[in-house]
Amino acid sequence: MARETILVVEDEAEIQELLRYNLAKEGYRVCLASSGEQALMAAQSESPQLVLLDLMLPGMDGLEVCRMLRRGRQTQSIPIVMLTAKGGEADIVAGLELGADDYVTKPFSPRVLLARIRAVLRRAADAAAEEAESECLCRHELQIHPGRHEVLVGEESVELTSTEFRVLWALARRPGWVLTRRQISEVVHGMDYPVADRSVDVQIVALRRKLLDAGRLIETVRGVGYRFKE
Ligand code: CA
């Protein structure tokens, strides 16, 4: 049974209760916040393992909460799953760029939401464990050696440009995590580079082509960005 603490940030009482009920049933400890201000206080005092954050809040909105959580020394690495309105791609992109880890669109099925939460908690644990080693990433049939700047698909060595390598590394480090084009561009060029979405897309096309069959591992998330297959 799960024992992690999840902070639920949602102002609508009915949805808050639905979330609380489903999470508690799954064995999570649940803290509730009805506003951004409460959320920031609870994130400090309760040290949750995950924040489930509705973006539509009165007063300080969810994106601002996300930004503040990422700024706080104590809260910067707590995984955040956003609850967003259907069709809210602009909010999703903004939230991911502020450091949210994943999102679920409303109306949501509790089963899908719980699966997403489990996945984010597991990825956070895996990422922490892997950060320690990071000599070689093995994903499906791919082996990526950052030290040697080498990529193998099965037994075959693949020649990548340094840009393509950095794009692949950024995605493959965190399978299942969606990166926006801006985030990919930052990995490749640094923070101040003007983002041209097209140039990221061009890199992805080239990368997929060179990876042959393994190119399928780089998935397009329509309207948002790219992710490496889990
Ligand atoms: Ca709301």
Whether 147 has a pLDDT exceeding 80, the answer reads no
Residues 123 and 157 reside in one and the same domain: no
Residues 97 and 184 reside in one and the same domain: no
The mean predicted confidence, pLDDT, of the chain is 90
Q: Which domain holds residue 219?
A: 134-228
Instruction: Look at 81 and 136; give whichever has higher pLDDT.
Output: 81
* Residue 46 near residue 57 (C-beta atoms within 8 A): no
Ligand 1 midpoint to CA 181 (Å): 28
Q: Indicate which CATH number applies to the domain containing 179.
A: 1.10.10.10
Residues 35 and 123 reside in one and the same domain: yes
- Paired with 142 in beta bridges are 139, 153
Ligand 1 midpoint to CA 62 (Å): 9
- DSSP E strand boundaries for the chain: 5-9, 29-33, 50-54, 80-85, 102-106, 137-139, 142-145, 150-153, 156-158, 178-180, 218-221, 225-228
Residues 107 and 147 reside in one and the same domain: no
Per residue in 162-196, pLDDT (tens digit) is 889 989 999 998 899 999 998 898 877 766 666 66
Residues 165 and 52 reside in one and the same domain: no
- Per the structure, the count of domains in the chain is 2
Ligand 1 midpoint to CA 19 (Å): 12
> pTM of the prediction?
0.68
Per residue in 23-59, pLDDT (tens digit) is 999 999 999 999 999 999 999 999 999 999 999 999 9
Q: Indicate which CATH number applies to the domain containing 26.
A: 3.40.50.2300
Query: What does the pLDDT read at residue 161?
Result: 83
Q: Which are the contacts of 80, defined by CB distance < 8 A and separation ≥ 6?
A: 50, 51, 53, 66, 69, 95, 99, 100, 101
Percent of the chain with pLDDT over 90: 68
Ligand 1 midpoint to CA 3 (Å): 26
Boundary residue ending a domain (127, 150, 172): 127
Query: What does the pLDDT read at residue 50?
Result: 97
Ligand 1 midpoint to CA 37 (Å): 14
- Asked which of 6-10, 117-121, 187-191, 202-206 is least confident by mean pLDDT, the reply is 187-191
Ligand 1 midpoint to CA 83 (Å): 9
